[in-house]
Amino acid sequence: MASIQRIAWGLAAAATTIVVRKIVTIVLHDAHGRPPLSKVTRNNPSAAAVFGLAMSTGALLAVADALREHRSAAVQAAS
Task: Please tell me the distance from the alpha carbon of residue 12 to that of residue 44, in angstroms, as a whole number.
Answer: 39
SS3 content of the chain, % helix, strand, coil (to 5): 85, 0, 15
Sequence-ordered list of residues with C-beta below 8 angstroms from that of 40, at least 6 positions apart, any chain: 47
pTM of the shown model: 0.43
Domain ranges of the chain: 1-33, 37-79
User: What is the share, in percent, of the chain residues with pLDDT greater than 90?
Assistant: 0
Compute how many other C-beta atoms are within 10 angstroms of the C-beta atom of residue 25: 11
Q: Rounded distance, CA 44 to CA 27, Å?
A: 22
pLDDT tens-digit series, residues 24-54: 777 777 777 777 766 666 677 776 777 778 8
